[in-house]
Structure 1
Amino acid sequence: MVTPRPLKLKSPASPRVTQVPAPESAIASIWVDSGVYHLDEAYEYLVPLELTEHVQVGVRVSVPFNKSICEGLVISRGDVSQSTSNLKFIEKVISTFPVATHETIDLFTKVANRFAGTALDVVRSAIPPRSARVEKEIDNTCAPLPKMDFNSSIEEELLKENLRVFWALPPDSSPHRTLALLIVLRARENQVLAIFNDEAELDGVAQEINTLIGTGFYARLDSGSERSDRYRDFLLFTRQQRSIALGLRGAIFTPLSDGATLIISHESSPHFYEPRAPRWNARDVGLLRSTHSHFALILTGFSPSMEVARLLDVGWLRLVQSPSVHIVSASESKNGELIPSKGFSIIRNALKIGPVLFLVPSKGYGNAILCSKCRNIGLCDCGGRLTRNSADALPECSLCKKVIDDWRCSSCGGERIFLASRGIDRFTEEIGRAFPNFPIIKSSGEHILRTVERRVALVLATPGAEPFVEGGYSAVVLLEGNRFFGHASLRADERAREHYFSGASLATAGAAIYISMQAVHPIVAALTRWNPLPMVRRELQERENLGLPPYRRFIRLDVPGDEAQQIFDGISHAQSDNRLPKNLELRPPIIGSKNTGSIHLSVPFEEASVVTAFLQEYQKRRNLSKKELLVIHVDPYELT
């Protein structure tokens, strides 16, 4: 017998509410964050009458999309130009606070096209996560800068309107204090957005601003802040309730008022390169932004990157610098000694006055070992380089971390080890023996000191970890110059120049600077005149002759190894069919370990947009076919 089911009362169906579109600008174009890569174009929606006041360009909204509700960003509003029967209504306005402007929305598209990605990928990097609590708490209170009465050492050129310059930082000063002063002076007239390469520099400049004008006058836009604090400061700055914003690379997209100033500090830093798609870098975004917007652009550093040097060379950027003359000595090690005899007298004399800074190439102890008999390099069975963590430590593989307790040279069978690549720990031992009875201060790796007292001491640091001394060092010693300039990298000279000028800038006025390398090396003359440009121009000329960056757009595709040849053939075929420029240079794939490969392309700047558009379309087709997306690097920091 079938058991009867209990009766249920039928609820009356709710009457369907007929939505009415707004009488004006009833269509909103929206980027919908659907999570599907190839659905990156803008979609049109109807604006309900009851939401028309709140649906503004740059606000977040909820919209129906493929049987679900997705978040979207309003990029424009307009009038009806065709039938709206198939258009859906915006569901709701998530927040009435605009998080983008016409200018930044246009920038998102330009960056996506420049770096062969999607605008939505750029948006995810550019706009901080929302905090509903912050939106309820925020008011219209402004924090105008206090009146300032202090002497300025800033070049007058840097205080002009509508400038585009590279500012070569002066020596004998605190870069943090100098930058803070520039920021505050320019913020008297309009908003200033300053972008820094790391949190330590941001903290240093923030402290100097606090000293100049007090606390509470700037917004802080970095991932180190609490989510709610970052969103609050983002809104305060975009609503022009704060005139100064300090941030890291992601803050480069922050909306700016007309006539504002964008400052990018140490523009050559690798920290400005975003690792997530579409892998833009803050310097190039700033340059792209200044081309299409009305604000001042100031790039800073001790020595310009090759990209900026080219713009200086063609006159797109102007150079602002403070020429000065310095006492620079150099001599080369003849028998493997750490400090040639010429450097000893300089260091001894300096230690009678104050601290001496030693800039060394790397952290660690012995970063490579050689056979002392035949000089064959020591390698692990896995192919990794063998290193030593201390004088008594056994060799250890830098890759698999295997410890070798009975190492023998694979070439001659020798057992004695020669340390070929000394790190700061080894330098500390050797310098301590050479100059006994002096305190030693070390700054590198996980233990970085930002400041030290001005007392007699030996201060050793790796690049970027140099402690600041009020009043400056009595001498600066730049060790193993050939290692700084001898890296197998296209950026080696660029990096070394910035490190050397940065380290030398910490010397007190009139102090000696000693370099352990050949006296004829051009860096010696560059530091003596505090002018890297002659050296930079020579390198630019060499690169132009060879067709290297920054004279062509370089693109690296990281591809699945088993598809590398097929992808290469497809690109070659597209070039044969005139879908890609004839001037595109395509190099055969390089197959690495773990089924990975890479394909390198280069193209003249004026034809690069054709190539990036092709790659954007190619990615969409791969996504539609459910294939793994390629990893595209456009003008990467390193080519390999």
Structure 2
Amino acid sequence: MSSANGWGEGGAEGAPPEQLALIREGVRQARAPKAKPRTWRGAKLAGELPVARVLVDKGVLHLDRYFDYAVPEELDAEAQPGVRVRVRFGAGRHRVREGRREGGGLIDGFLVERLAESEYSGPLAALAQVVSPEPVLGPELLGLARAVADRYAGSLADVLQLAVPPRNARAEQKPSPAPLPPPGIPETGSWTRYGRGAAFLESLAAGGAPRAVWNALPGPGWAEEIARAVGATLASGRGALVVVPDGRAVTRVDAALSAVLGEGQHAVLTAEAGPEKRYREWLAVRRGSVRAVVGTRAAMFAPVRDLGLVVIWDDGDDSHSEQHAPQPHAREVLLLRAAHDKCAFLLGSWGCTVEAAQLVESGWALPLVAEREQVRASAPLVRTVGDGDLARDEAARAARLPTLAWQVVRDGLRHGPVLVQVPRRGYVPRMACAQCRAPARCRHCAGPLEARDAGALLCTWCGRDEAAWHCPECGGFRLRAQVVGARRTAEELGRAFPAVPVRTSGREQVLDTVPGAPALVVSTPGAEPVAEGGYAAALLLDGWTMLSRPDLRAGEDALRRWIGAAALVRGQGAGGTVVVVAEPTLRPVQALVRWDPVGHAVRELAERAELGFPPVSRMAAVSGTAEALAGFLAVVGLPGDAEVLGPVPLPVTQTGGPRRVGAPPPGEQWERALVRVPPGSGAALAAALKAAQAARMARGGSEPVRIRIDPPDIG
């Protein structure tokens, strides 16, 4: 269905089928009428609806269901659907004597609904306590949480731990401010730079539900453009939700919302705010005092009333992937909300992920891009330095910096600050052709090859040995490992300009902004501060370090990080120049030179479709000890079209060293298998894995088996 201005509306008929099925099942389980139960006996209970259906806070799969409790007469008024309660759970849960429960320990939970009778045939234990009369879990949030749990093969209790912040009594006791009248329709502003920008805002203001993938122009204007989209939605009497990757981005959008909407029209949800302030802001949203929210990934579950627009900025950033079970991604959660609430959807970024390209390719969303002339006027000039240039360059051999880089830095410092992006240390090298640098991949499953002892090659996906590898691109037989680390390069650059201040931004200290005066700003990817007036120039060093990650997304992620840094540089008309030290013939480098992240994502999507890679296929990673993993794979009832790759050994985590989320315990040898299914079977895969894990836990399996749907790293 399309509106008069050509934007597709966000109704159920346009939603992805798997997402709608998950949402509908979640709402069905939350609202479905129950069969007439047998009566209970024992205590003096509430006169009407004496049974409380409770979700206990036990994040284990075999207990991922509701339990019935009796409502004592003294708790009748407070025990309303959505409130937090405490119940006894464990041994002796159903033994009642003289109205009192025996056995079991107190545990937190949520009261989901009140019933006249219970399906349980025996006597029910009574609610122990109503923690707070504040109803924090409504049916919409419950349905969304159930859908997310089912999509990611997790438990409802785990999702609600992410969705509902911990209670703070002082915040609850303070009344939320009265809601302000909706603001007027904001001016179109810089949205006129995009061909469909004005029509997008008009559709929002008219109560429509357009869905768009937005390729933002370089520069700081993206925050104000998001604020104007939120303002148009609020003017229609609906709410809006904005999810950004980090606190620095929250600060920018927060300031833009205050400038466009005025004070008091939005709430900010971040962990940095502290438990009391965050809970107070969350309550203001749930109570309807404010209808606009901006926050980091935890805000994806914010209970915005009359939701009319969901926005995610820079969906390729790792921060959007939740690290706690069941590890949902903010983009997928917002897609579920857009499908269920029939609201508008806006995915924005300077770059473009393959998932974003798939939304456009499928017709679910429309592209929101600027004309090429506008792109060229806004983007800086991008120049490249390849391996051949470095080999012929005396300056590069002496100081690991090409002559072109010296010249660009020297010229840029005359007009303002210069950004130097230095890749982090620690990327695992992968093998590539020594002649043409094409990645070495397995002939069976196209997974990345890794060098093992005695020069043997092993596929890190399916575990097959590769004894006779040759490059399919140039026919070469020699391999090379990519080099990691570039700190010495940044030090050399700083020593070369002793009269210029050097500022660093990275893991130890991340700068938000820097002055517009001449300076060298050395930053790791993702930590680049914004310069007042934009950077005069930027150096993107050691491109092969970023491209050599053993992961399917290496090229996409490198381009995203390059564009994220280059977007902070002044436009070509203002003299902005970017130098990237990487082979100019590589696809991500060419996409940066042309400033064409959308084209790069479209080509990546086509290749993944041909090879059956995500996001065209759905994939799950299952890991554990060799014995536990083999036992799990032997009993799980996978869909008939599922393909199991592996298992392969996982790197052993060293004691005392850094540990990635989902990595095996230090010193233990684990294996991992990848399970791949074609489009349409993702829900069946998640259901099968969840059922097998629940059955295994119910039997008391001692060795852990970890499941992750849509693993971000399958290399």
- TM-score, normalised with respect to structure 1: 0.80
1:497-548 deviation per Cα after TM superposition (whole angstroms, max 9, x unaligned): 2111111111112222322233334445534553311111111111111111
- The counterpart of 1:18, out of the listed 44, 53, 56, is 44
1:432, CA displacement in angstroms?
Answer: 3.3
**Aligned pair 1:585/2:622, yes or no?**
no
Largest Rg, 1 or 2: 1
Please give the alpha-carbon distance, in whole angstroms, between the structure 2 residues aligned to 1:49 and 1:317.
Answer: 52
| Structure 1 partner of 2:384 | 330
In structure 1, the residue corresponding to 2:680 is in which secondary structure? helix
Structure 1 residues 529 and 79, CA, compared in 2 at 3 Å: closer, same or farther? farther
1:122-162 deviation per Cα after TM superposition (whole angstroms, max 9, x unaligned): 11111111122222222453345677987722332442231
Give runs of aligned pairs for residues 124-139 of structure 1, distance below 5 A. 124-139=161-176
Please give the alpha-carbon distance, in whole angstroms, between the structure 2 residues aligned to 1:298 and 1:129.
Answer: 29
| Structure 2 partner of 1:399 | none
In structure 2, the residue corresponding to 1:598 is in which secondary structure? strand
1:621, CA displacement in angstroms?
Answer: 2.3
Please give the alpha-carbon distance, in whole angstroms, between the structure 2 residues aligned to 1:307 and 1:222.
Answer: 26
Give runs of aligned pairs for residues 102-121 of structure 1, distance below 5 A. 102-121=139-158
Structure 1 residues 57 and 629, CA, compared in 2 at 3 Å: closer, same or farther? farther
- The counterpart of 1:421, out of the listed 484, 496, 507, is 484
- The counterpart of 1:610, out of the listed 653, 678, 684, is 684
- The counterpart of 1:61, out of the listed 85, 107, 111, is 85
1:367-403 deviation per Cα after TM superposition (whole angstroms, max 9, x unaligned): 99xxxxxxxxxxxxxx9xxxxxxxxxxxxxxxxxxxx
Please give the alpha-carbon distance, in whole angstroms, between the structure 1 residues aligned to 2:56 and 2:705.
Answer: 23
1:103, CA displacement in angstroms?
Answer: 1.6
- The counterpart of 1:280, out of the listed 328, 351, 356, is 328
Please give the alpha-carbon distance, in whole angstroms, between the structure 2 residues aligned to 1:305 and 1:292.
Answer: 23
**Aligned pair 1:96/2:158, yes or no?**
no
Contact 1:21 / 1:46 at 8 angstroms: preserved in 2? no
Contact 1:352 / 1:456 at 8 angstroms: preserved in 2? yes
Farther off after superposition, 249-258 or 436-445: 436-445
| Structure 2 partner of 1:636 | 711
- The counterpart of 2:266, out of the listed 191, 201, 218, is 218
- Please, which runs of 5 or more residues in structure 2 have no aligned partner? 1-41, 94-102, 192-196, 430-451, 453-481, 653-667
1:535-576 deviation per Cα after TM superposition (whole angstroms, max 9, x unaligned): 1111111111111111111111121234333333334xxxxx
1:638, CA displacement in angstroms?
Answer: 0.6
- The counterpart of 1:255, out of the listed 303, 307, 327, is 303
Please give the alpha-carbon distance, in whole angstroms, between the structure 2 residues aligned to 1:244 and 1:629.
Answer: 41
- The counterpart of 1:237, out of the listed 281, 285, 291, is 285
1:448, CA displacement in angstroms?
Answer: 2.1
- The counterpart of 1:595, out of the listed 669, 688, 704, is 669
Structure 1 residues 548 and 320, CA, compared in 2 at 3 Å: closer, same or farther? same
Give runs of aligned pairs for residues 296-307 of structure 1, distance below 5 A. 296-307=344-355
Structure 1 residues 83 and 279, CA, compared in 2 at 3 Å: closer, same or farther? closer
- The counterpart of 2:509, out of the listed 447, 455, 470, is 447
Matching residue's letter, 1:230: R
- What's the % identity of the aligned pairs? 30
- Please, which runs of 5 or more residues in structure 1 have no aligned partner? 1-15, 369-382, 384-418, 572-578
Contact 1:55 / 1:96 at 8 angstroms: preserved in 2? yes
Matching residue's letter, 1:220: V
| Structure 1 partner of 2:447 | none
Please give the alpha-carbon distance, in whole angstroms, between the structure 1 residues aligned to 2:511 and 2:122.
Answer: 65
Please give the alpha-carbon distance, in whole angstroms, between the structure 2 residues aligned to 1:426 and 1:148.
Answer: 52
Please give the alpha-carbon distance, in whole angstroms, between the structure 2 residues aligned to 1:34 and 1:520.
Answer: 53
Structure 1 residues 224 and 433, CA, compared in 2 at 3 Å: closer, same or farther? closer
1:50-109 deviation per Cα after TM superposition (whole angstroms, max 9, x unaligned): 655544432223345413443322333455487876445544433222212212111111
| Structure 2 partner of 1:173 | 220
1:424-475 deviation per Cα after TM superposition (whole angstroms, max 9, x unaligned): x412232235555433332222122211111222222211111211211122
Structure 1 residues 609 and 341, CA, compared in 2 at 3 Å: closer, same or farther? same
- The counterpart of 1:39, out of the listed 53, 63, 67, is 63
In structure 2, the residue corresponding to 1:242 is in which secondary structure? coil
1:356, CA displacement in angstroms?
Answer: 2.1
Contact 1:622 / 1:629 at 8 angstroms: preserved in 2? no
Contact 1:218 / 1:246 at 8 angstroms: preserved in 2? yes
Contact 1:357 / 1:460 at 8 angstroms: preserved in 2? yes
| Structure 1 partner of 2:665 | none
In structure 2, the residue corresponding to 1:200 is in which secondary structure? helix
**Aligned pair 1:481/2:543, yes or no?**
yes
Structure 1 residues 163 and 46, CA, compared in 2 at 3 Å: closer, same or farther? farther
| Structure 2 partner of 1:416 | none
Contact 1:33 / 1:72 at 8 angstroms: preserved in 2? yes
1:308, CA displacement in angstroms?
Answer: 2.1
Contact 2:382 / 2:578 at 8 angstroms: preserved in 1? yes
Please give the alpha-carbon distance, in whole angstroms, between the structure 2 residues aligned to 1:150 and 1:610.
Answer: 46
| Structure 1 partner of 2:8 | none
| Structure 2 partner of 1:201 | 249
Structure 1 residues 367 and 73, CA, compared in 2 at 3 Å: closer, same or farther? closer
Please give the alpha-carbon distance, in whole angstroms, between the structure 2 residues aligned to 1:247 and 1:172.
Answer: 21
Contact 1:290 / 1:296 at 8 angstroms: preserved in 2? yes
Contact 1:568 / 1:588 at 8 angstroms: preserved in 2? no
1:147-199 deviation per Cα after TM superposition (whole angstroms, max 9, x unaligned): 79877223324422312222222113354444445444544443222212122
1:393-418 deviation per Cα after TM superposition (whole angstroms, max 9, x unaligned): xxxxxxxxxxxxxxxxxxxxxxxxxx
Structure 1 residues 450 and 175, CA, compared in 2 at 3 Å: closer, same or farther? farther
Please give the alpha-carbon distance, in whole angstroms, between the structure 2 residues aligned to 1:280 and 1:149.
Answer: 34
Give runs of aligned pairs for residues 534-549 of structure 1, distance below 5 A. 534-549=599-614
| Structure 1 partner of 2:198 | 156
**Aligned pair 1:518/2:565, yes or no?**
no
Contact 2:641 / 2:678 at 8 angstroms: preserved in 1? yes
Farther off after superposition, 149-158 or 271-280: 149-158
In structure 1, the residue corresponding to 2:339 is in which secondary structure? helix
Please give the alpha-carbon distance, in whole angstroms, between the structure 2 residues aligned to 1:428 and 1:37.
Answer: 49
Please give the alpha-carbon distance, in whole angstroms, between the structure 2 residues aligned to 1:600 and 1:279.
Answer: 17
Cα RMSD (Å):
3.1
Please give the alpha-carbon distance, in whole angstroms, between the structure 1 residues aligned to 2:569 and 2:245.
Answer: 23
Please give the alpha-carbon distance, in whole angstroms, between the structure 1 residues aligned to 2:629 and 2:120.
Answer: 46
1:229, CA displacement in angstroms?
Answer: 1.4
In structure 2, the residue corresponding to 1:612 is in which secondary structure? helix
| Structure 2 partner of 1:505 | 567
Please give the alpha-carbon distance, in whole angstroms, between the structure 2 residues aligned to 1:520 and 1:272.
Answer: 31
| Structure 2 partner of 1:574 | none
**Aligned pair 1:491/2:553, yes or no?**
yes
Structure 1 residues 437 and 140, CA, compared in 2 at 3 Å: closer, same or farther? closer
1:351, CA displacement in angstroms?
Answer: 2.8
